[in-house]
């Protein structure tokens, strides 16, 4: 009985402490015990099997990644259930507020000024259409609104444009939406300004492994990426960081990319996994199509090595069948982008997502910005756990009494 009660207390303490950290960092609160339909002891065992750790090596991640696919999917699903409510998927919307004309040479991107693509350079959007798009996204079920600008970084544009973006962030945040931005490189001062404006998270993907990176981008370094991530973290913002597969990289590059993310002092709160969309006019326009199983494998591995992070099924989802998307959710994806476009690339239509959610029994996830509501939910969780402790202790006493009679 003492061992059972001890396991319950550890699970409750872990959950309470973890959720306090989640709220402090502006990230999703981990699933309450009862919402995953497992006992407190089973939950504690799952979290012990899939701990949040930062000491991963390439070899250890390779062993996870190379498992038979069905075994890997099962492990990803188990890790997911240890930290999140199964069947709950966050819908996010991504809007390009400044399209085209980017000075970077990312070989996958149609917004680069280095390539002849169909994307034309545009000015920064006015505030009104951005707010209208955010309101429409919320009405359609999105709880996170992401704004992307095709800039090398905030320092490469005038303070006036950055101030306009800060104003957009404040007003979108007032809609009770999580707000994410991807504006290129930022320093700590700029990241703090974003935080003060109400930004929830900053997206800055590392794209691929450090070794393969120079074959994809030459106008900024891998270290530039990491420097921005450090500035974002130092400012107290939630980090959204993942990568792209299908760039011509090897499996070792994919594993190395995940190792870079999973060995950060704090895991990214959101990990977008993108499949290359081969844009005409870019150096990668003739890239070989990605096997869906590669995407499923990547999602499951990301879920296992960063079990408490949101794993976002991102670009390239429109090339997947409903069955393939279902496998991604089963493997541990619990966030998607909705809307007809991801910046400049096509995405799944809203009505198709609605039908998919209904067919799979999925439901949307609430935003995690309402601190008072989260505090109430935490207190309710503690009361539920306390009730479980008393009930299970009583049941064990009955079993012991029966066996000794």
Residue 226 confidence class, pLDDT cut points 50, 70, 90: very high
Active-site pick, 109, 241, 259, 328: 109
Q: Are residues 25 and 157 in the same domain?
A: no
Quick one: which H or E segment has residue 238? strand 238-240
How far from chain centre, in Å, is Cα 373? Answer: 22
Q: Are residues 144 and 163 in the same domain?
A: yes
CA distance readout (Å), 113 to 41, 182, 218, 315, 344? 56, 18, 14, 21, 14
Residue 396 confidence class, pLDDT cut points 50, 70, 90: low
Active-site pick, 81, 233, 312, 317: 312
Q: Is 102 labeled as catalytic in the residue annotation?
A: yes
Structural domain count of the chain: 2
Summarize pLDDT for 144-202 with one digit per residue, the tens: 999 999 999 999 898 899 999 999 999 999 999 999 999 999 999 999 999 999 999 99
Question: Does the residue 228 lie in any domain?
Answer: yes
Question: Does the residue 65 lie in any domain?
Answer: no
Rounded Cα–Cα distance for residues 58 and 151 (Å): 32
Active-site pick, 22, 30, 92, 102: 102
Residue 374 confidence class, pLDDT cut points 50, 70, 90: very low
Summarize pLDDT for 97-153 with one digit per residue, the tens: 999 889 999 999 998 988 888 888 899 999 999 999 999 999 999 999 999 999 999
Phi and psi at 377, nearest 5°, equal: -65, -35
Q: Are residues 319 and 381 in the same domain?
A: no
Q: Are residues 225 and 97 in the same domain?
A: yes
pLDDT reported for residue 405: 56
Question: Which one, of 114, 95, 104, 115, lies nearest residue 152 by Cα?
Answer: 104
Q: Is 240 labeled as catalytic in the residue annotation?
A: yes
Active-site pick, 30, 92, 106, 328: 106
**276 close to 287: Cβ distance less than 8 angstroms:** yes
Question: Does the residue 258 lie in any domain?
Answer: yes
Question: Does the residue 97 lie in any domain?
Answer: yes
Quick one: which H or E segment has residue 248? none
Identify the three-state secondary structure at position 114. coil
Q: Is 106 labeled as catalytic in the residue annotation?
A: yes
Rounded Cα–Cα distance for residues 346 and 341 (Å): 5
Q: Are residues 128 and 230 in the same domain?
A: yes
Q: Are residues 245 and 275 in the same domain?
A: yes
* Predicted TM-score (pTM) above 0.95: no
Q: Are residues 190 and 284 in the same domain?
A: yes
Q: Are residues 338 and 376 in the same domain?
A: no
Rounded Cα–Cα distance for residues 389 and 295 (Å): 40
Q: Is 109 labeled as catalytic in the residue annotation?
A: yes
Active-site pick, 180, 241, 259, 328: 180
- Which range of 85-89, 139-143, 238-242, 341-345 scores highest in mean pLDDT? It is 238-242
**182 close to 148: Cβ distance less than 8 angstroms:** yes
Q: Are residues 116 and 196 in the same domain?
A: yes
Question: Does the residue 6 lie in any domain?
Answer: no
Question: Does the residue 79 lie in any domain?
Answer: no
Question: Does the residue 182 lie in any domain?
Answer: yes
Residue 259 belongs to domain with CATH number: 3.20.20.70
Rounded Cα–Cα distance for residues 111 and 345 (Å): 10
Q: Residue 395 belongs to what domain range?
A: 11-49+370-405
Q: Pick 294 or 10 by higher pLDDT.
A: 294
Q: Is the pLDDT score of 308 beyond 80?
A: yes
pLDDT reported for residue 2: 46
Q: What is the mean pLDDT of the chain?
A: 85
Question: Does the residue 60 lie in any domain?
Answer: no
Rounded Cα–Cα distance for residues 386 and 40 (Å): 10
Q: Are residues 30 and 127 in the same domain?
A: no
Q: Is 10 labeled as catalytic in the residue annotation?
A: no
Q: Are residues 214 and 324 in the same domain?
A: yes
Q: Is the pLDDT score of 4 beyond 60?
A: no
Q: Is the pLDDT score of 383 beyond 60?
A: no
Q: Going by C-beta distance under 8 Å and a sequence separation of 6 or more, which residues neighbour residue 397?
A: 1
pLDDT reported for residue 100: 87
Summarize pLDDT for 49-107 with one digit per residue, the tens: 999 999 999 999 999 999 999 999 999 999 999 999 989 999 999 999 999 889 999 99
Q: Are residues 324 and 378 in the same domain?
A: no
């Amino acid at each position: 009985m003492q061992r059972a009660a001890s396991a319950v207390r550890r699970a409750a303490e872990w959950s309470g402490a973890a959720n306090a950290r989640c709220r402090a960092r502006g990230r999703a609160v981990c699933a309450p015990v009862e919402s995953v339909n497992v006992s407190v002891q089973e939950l504690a065992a799952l979290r012990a099997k899939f701990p949040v750790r930062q000491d991963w090596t390439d070899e250890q991640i390779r062993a996870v990644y190379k498992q038979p696919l069905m075994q890997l999917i099962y492990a990803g699903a188990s890790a997911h259930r240890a930290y999140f409510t199964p069947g709950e998927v966050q819908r996010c919307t991504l809007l390009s507020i400044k399209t085209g004309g980017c000075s970077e040479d990312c070989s996958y991107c149609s917004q680069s000024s280095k390539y002849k693509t169909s994307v034309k350079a545009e000015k920064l959007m006015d505030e009104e259409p951005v707010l209208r798009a955010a309101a429409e996204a919320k009405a359609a079920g999105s709880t996170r609104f992401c704004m992307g600008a095709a800039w090398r970084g905030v320092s490469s544009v005038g303070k006036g444009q950055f101030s306009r973006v800060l104003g957009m962030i404040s007003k979108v945040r007032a809609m009770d939406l999580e707000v994410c931005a991807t504006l290129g490189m930022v320093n700590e001062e700029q990241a703090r300004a974003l935080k003060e404006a109400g930004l929830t998270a900053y997206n800055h993907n590392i794209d691929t492994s450090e070794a393969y990176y120079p074959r994809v981008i030459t106008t900024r370094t891998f270290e530039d990426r990491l420097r921005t991530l450090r500035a974002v973290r130092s400012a107290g913002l939630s980090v959204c960081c993942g990568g792209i597969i299908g760039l011509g990289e090897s499996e070792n590059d994919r594993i190395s990319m995940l190792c870079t993310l999973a060995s950060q002092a704090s895991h990214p709160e959101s990990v977008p996994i993108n499949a290359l969309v081969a844009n005409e006019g870019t150096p990668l326009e003739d890239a070989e199509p990605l096997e869906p199983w590669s995407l499923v494998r990547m999602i499951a591995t990301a879920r296992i090595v960063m079990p408490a992070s949101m794993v976002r099924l991102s670009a390239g989802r429109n090339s997947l069948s409903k069955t393939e998307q279902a496998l991604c959710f089963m493997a541990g994806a619990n966030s998607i982008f909705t809307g007809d476009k991801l910046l400049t690339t096509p995405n799944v239509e809203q009505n198709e997502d609605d039908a998919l959610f209904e067919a799979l029994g999925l439901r949307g996830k609430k935003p995690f910005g309402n601190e008072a509501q989260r505090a109430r939910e935490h207190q309710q969780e503690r009361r539920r756990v306390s009730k479980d402790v008393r009930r299970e202790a009583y049941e064990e006493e009955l079993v012991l009494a029966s066996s000794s009679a």
